[in-house]
Amino acid sequence: MGREDEDMDSTSVNESKAGFVTLLGIPNAGKSTLLNAMLGERLSIVSSRPQTTWRRITGIHSDGGAQIVFLDTPGLLEPKDLIHEALMLEARGALSDADLALAVLDPTRPIRELQDRFVATLLGGVKVPKVVAVTKVDIASEQQVAELREWSESLSPIAVHGVSGETGQGVGELLACLQENLPVSPFFYPEDEIATAPVRFFVGELVRETVFDQFREEIPYATFCEVEEFRDGGGRTYIQVNIFVERASQKGILIGERGAAIRTLGRDARAKIEAFLGEPVYLDLWVKVLPKWRKKRGELRRLGLPLPDARPS
């Protein structure tokens, strides 16, 4: 082999790979838990309640010669109101940016459930390669996993992997598969970056996650959090977070009798934020009423969600 051939071979070996991978699945399929496991960081909020992820989360995994930019999306469901339509547009937008689509499917759910068919319908017209992750293999039965693996072949994936975001089972093999199928490209971000959103965004999400942890029924879904202030408070970072709800009654529940509920919420959210930032913080929570914000185009636009075209009145 001549020197020119050796140089060409060395170049091909050292070429880096990089690309965007969009995660899709129905609510509670385990997308956020799997994303956190692949990144080794808690970037996407996790709750046993469905529909906790409602904004596109961009996490970055760089390993050797490959960089995966993950786009986590809201759980797919049949749109029933304006915010659901906005969430579906958010998911479709992330899919249009993808080099690979990662369908996250839960074997503990009925395979022919309407929402599972909805995932298949959405992925049916996707031109990019598709990989299937069958989640929760640590708790699903062998029969459930086998049946879902067989059904997932209808999506025409390039690979199907059984994984558990909770235990890490199969996560390494899934990452290797995604890296192998990325396009040749220089890295999009520095190797030490793990996310593109500002720290303020993740702080607000951790407060919202704590609301999901502590409250039930409608309150978590009627809540969004916005960081109003983030500054050095002299030894502790001062963070003010506004928690918006739709009704005065919801505000009363969040605050609780003599402020007991909001104190508990603040204590638990502060612990998560301090673990995330690696430093002490003073967390100042304010609960504010923003009537019917989920049905108002202006408020959803303020949150950065894409909106469907306005219907004629």
Is the whole-model pTM more than 0.85? no
Q: What share of the chain is helix, strand, coil (3-state, %, to 5)?
A: 40, 20, 40
* pLDDT at site 23: 86
Whether the CB-CB separation of 55 and 300 falls below 8 Å is answered with no
Residue ranges for the chain with pLDDT beneath 50: 1-13, 46-52, 114, 312-313
* pLDDT at site 238: 92
215-243 pLDDT tens trace? 866 565 678 888 889 887 677 889 999 99
DSSP per-residue string spanning 244-304: EESSHHHHHHHH-GGGHHHHHHHHHHHHHHHHHHTS-EEEEEEEEE-TTGGG-HHHHHHTT
127-168 pLDDT tens trace? 789 999 999 999 999 999 999 998 888 888 999 999 998 999
CATH superfamily placement of domain 199-302: K homology (KH) domain (3.30.300.20)
* pLDDT at site 66: 95
- Between helix 248-255 and helix 260-277 the angle, nearest 10°, is 70
* pLDDT at site 124: 66
Provide the β-strand partners of residue 134.
105, 162
Where do the CATH 3.40.50.300 domains begin and end in the chain? 3-180
* pLDDT at site 47: 46
The CATH class for the domain spanning 3-180 reads alpha beta
* pLDDT at site 269: 94
Whether the CB-CB separation of 51 and 27 falls below 8 Å is answered with yes
* pLDDT at site 81: 56
Where do the CATH 3.30.300.20 domains begin and end in the chain? 199-302
Tell me whether strands 66-72 and 237-245 are parallel, antiparallel or unpaired. Answer: unpaired
